[in-house]
A = this chain, B = another copy of it.
Amino acid sequence: MYETDFIAGSAELAMLLEVSATPKPGNVDRTHDFEDLAYEHFLGSSVGMFPAFRKAASGGHHIGDLILNAVRASATWQRAGNCHFGAILLLIPLCAAASRSSTIDQLRTNVTEVVRGTTTTDAVRFYESFRSVNVRVREQHYLDVNDPESTNTIQKQQLTLFDVMDISSSSDTIAKEWIEGFPRTFRGAELFKQIKESGQNLNESIVHLFLRLLSEAPDTLVAKKFGSKVAHEVSAKATDALKHGNIENLDKELISRRINPGTTADLVIGSLFVTLLGGFRY
């Protein structure tokens, strides 16, 4: 079985490597901050969440409690709000599944079991997570979390967290990962391996993975903020940047238009977690 600290550390390092990769078009990275959200906030959030990931990785806890716990831990040192909500939704079930896995193949099977085993209480805790802290607008694309009636509906209809994800899986990449068994997370890990083996350094490989995933499907957060047309346009631009290497221009353009493909960044984190857990060293 994977060891608890190793699982939690893989989750944390995945977040640090992702936010550090530069230039990562449109997102905060080690060379650019947003007005009210700096690179250092991501560092503080990542370190703060280590104990929450270790708890998930020790097994036997409810996914909803673990999500709430991670969201709160994110604010241990940094005060810019939760900048890792999407990543938490991927990493918590992955860490819980890793606690009973010895290989990546087992992780893939177990993470499906973990999300399918969630309860109505998990769904209620998930909604609580939003209300208990300042989840940043960047992340507030999730379901109808701002509707105070949601919790009542969930309890009346006895919806599990898996059911809630199912409802929004057609328009939300992370919900879709839950429903389909994390296919893009695991595929991203395979893609990363290929890219890295082609001779690019670590930073370049992460940027390349981000562009590949972005080029393959419109980013959820961009679609929610700017509509489907812009999201498709951004994916086409990512394809073009991969072909012609004009990544810095794309970065400048997206930043000036305030378009940040945050959900794709979350996917990269999931893929890097699988990569690190699977034995990648550098």
Contact = CB atoms under 8 A, between A and B. Distances in A.
A5 interface: yes
A282 B40 contact: yes
10 contacts: A12-B47, A13-B44, A16-B43, A16-B47, A17-B43, A30-B31, A31-B31, A77-B276, A78-B282, A79-B282
Interface of A: 5-6, 9, 12-13, 16-17, 20, 30-31, 38-41, 43-44, 47-48, 50-51, 76-79, 201-203, 276, 280-282
Contacts of A43: 13, 16-17, 20
Contacts of A77: 9, 13, 276, 280-282
A203 B276 CA distance: 29
A50 B9 contact: yes
A130 to B, nearest CB: 22
State the main secondary structure of chain A at its contact with B.
helix
Nearest to A12: B47
A269 to B, nearest CB: 14
A281 B78 contact: yes
A6 B282 contact: no
B78 A9 contact: no
B282 A9 contact: no
A254 to B, nearest CB: 21
B281 A79 contact: yes
A100 B18 CA distance: 36
Nearest to A280: B77
A85 to B, nearest CB: 20
A7 to B, nearest CB: 12
Nearest to A29: B30
A188 to B, nearest CB: 18
Contact of A30 (B5, B13, B20, B51): B20
Given A6-B76, A13-B43, A17-B43, 4 more contacts: A13-B47, A16-B43, A30-B39, A47-B50
